[in-house]
Amino acid sequence: MYGLFEDEDDIFMGSPKSKLMDVIFNANNDVVRYELEKFIDRAAAMEMMMRERCSDKFSDNGDEIEKEIKSYILTNRDEIDSFSKNLYIEMMGAILSQSE
């Protein structure tokens, strides 16, 4: 499982999350905005797909979908942490490749 002080033992002195934050705060603002907009669009599309495919399970208010997401995160914490690290690295790479 993901340690509280993950950065302390990292050979590169930072987790993917902390390195992404460094990149976001130091990279070209337009590039960062573009990548964040892409990320939000993707998250919105995934949630809309989930609502469409599970319309019989969820009502329109979104409370059930939020509970389902939180439950999934709790049940799959290790896998979520691992996948999140990959997303941090992917976004960092996209920002850095456009900032050169």
The 3-class SS string of 40-98 reads HHHHHHHHHHHHHHCCCCCCCCCHHHHHHHHHHHHHCHHHHHHHHHHHHHHHHHHHHHH
Tokens 């319309």 correspond to 55
Average pLDDT value for residue range 72-84: 95
Q: In the structure encoding, which two tokens stand for residue 26, read together?
A: 């130091």
Q: How far apart are CA 31 and CA 54, in angstroms?
A: 35
Q: How many residues belong to the chain? A: 100
CA distances from 85 to 14, 62, 65 (A): 12, 27, 24
Q: What amino acid occupies position 31?
A: V
Give the pair of three-digit tokens for residue 59.
């009502």
For the entire predicted model, the pTM comes to 0.76
What does pLDDT average to over the chain?
A: 85
Q: Is the dihedral of CA 70, 71, 76, 77 positive or negative?
A: positive
pLDDT at 61: 63
22 pLDDT more than 90: yes
The yes-or-no verdict on residue 9 having pLDDT over 70 is no
pLDDT band, residue 51 (cuts 50/70/90) = confident
Q: Give domain limits for the chain.
A: 27-98
Instruction: Find the mean pLDDT for residues 59-77.
Output: 84
Q: What percent of the chain has pLDDT over 70?
A: 83
